[in-house]
Amino acid sequence: MNTLFFYGTLRHVPLLEIVLGRPASAIALTPERLANHAALSVAEGPFPCIIEHQGDVTDGLLVEGLSDADIARLDFYEGSFAFDLRDVTLEGGQTAQVYFPHAGRWSTKGPWVLQDWESDWAALSCFAAREVMDYFGRYSVTEVARMFPMIRTRAAAMVNAAQSKHGAGTLHGKVDVQRLDRVYTNYFALNEYHLRHERFDGKMSDVLERAVFVASDAALVLPYDPVRDRVMLVEQLRMGPIARGDRAVWQLEPIAGRVDPGETPEQAAHREAAEEAGITLQALEKVAETYASPGDSTEFFYIYVGLADLPDRATGVGGLASEDEDIRSHLMSFDALMTLAETQQAANAPLVIAAYWLAYHRDRLRLRAPAAKPDVT
């Protein structure tokens, strides 16, 4: 049997149980301390690393009774974050092993506090750990580390889902997931479920096989200048139309991007407006919170109209080179936008939703706007 000292996120017992794949009741968990070491927050992620530092003492959890199979699972999980085991002697005289970071791998930003992490990040980390550990024995540590940013983004969407506003008046019945197979994962993922669900007559259905495309939450914003009565649309190549064989694979749409872990949808909307179009939004008007296609996808949209100053010079080509984005912006009058929607030339559902929302609220937004400016500035 093996003995480890955990100073970081694995002190959170629900996370430890996910990583081990079994309840922690069969192993001994004892509070302990490690002298002349400090647990520091990692700047690149919501987790700590440990360093030798004379005079500091690190609180932690002594875990005894770990099997070799447990260590293999722990090595897989911790290896994804570039940590390796080393021997230490704890304050109580007990010898244990600790996961130390690879030299130079992480930068630090001050002390790490377990209670703060549990409040802000524990739920997301548990969702992410479930996906990571489903890949144990299937993918290498290096492959999981490469996929981990999107694993965390998918986990963030699951945290957001617990706060969704919709669902009033619908059945809150039982869903029995008997098996979940992660059949594909990379930037996006494809999961296959074997499940039974409660029917409207109160009986349980037969076991059904259903596949679902697993994406992230996204913030979408249609910039609107109430003074000039114009909007901004962006244009870029889209994979959906390519795969469908559409004659038009460059699409007009609102500014859009995923909601990153630790980020609110509003923050994502402001960030994406700057990245994709180089504009600053003055305020956001909430339009809708909606699934893109609830029958087969987890993708969830937070849609906004963003009030902005949109002079003629606002257009251009933008996007992040690091994400291979090539995005062109267009200015369009409100009337032209509505013609686009009314004649079915807008093939982007959030754009159509935002357009009709704007048609309903346009007078209110214009009434609050300052005096009119020249069209060309």
**In sequence order, what DSSP letters do the residues of 104-172 get, joined into one string?**
TS--EEEE--HHHHHHHTHHHHHHHHHHHHHTTTTS-HHHHHHHHHHHHHHHHHHHHHTT----TTS--
Phi-psi region of 36 (alpha: psi -120 to 50; beta: other; left: phi over 0): left
Is residue 323 part of the annotated active site? The answer reads: yes
Neighbours of 204 (CB within 10 A): 13
Q: Extract long-range pairs of 315-322: CB within 8 Å, 24+ residues apart.
A: 315/232, 316/277, 316/278, 318/275, 318/276, 318/277, 318/278, 319/236, 319/275, 319/276, 320/275
Q: CB–CB of 323/240 below 8 Å?
A: no
Q: Scanning the structure block, which residue is given the tokens 């996006």?
A: 188
- The Cα 190–Cα 184 span in angstroms is 5
Instruction: Please give the angle made by the CA atoms of 20, 26 and 32, to the nearest 5 degrees.
Output: 80
Q: CB–CB of 228/324 below 8 Å?
A: no
- The Cα 206–Cα 147 span in angstroms is 34
- The Cα 257–Cα 254 span in angstroms is 10
- The Cα 373–Cα 99 span in angstroms is 61
Catalytic one of 131, 323, 325, 342: 323
Which residues does the annotation mark as catalytic? 323
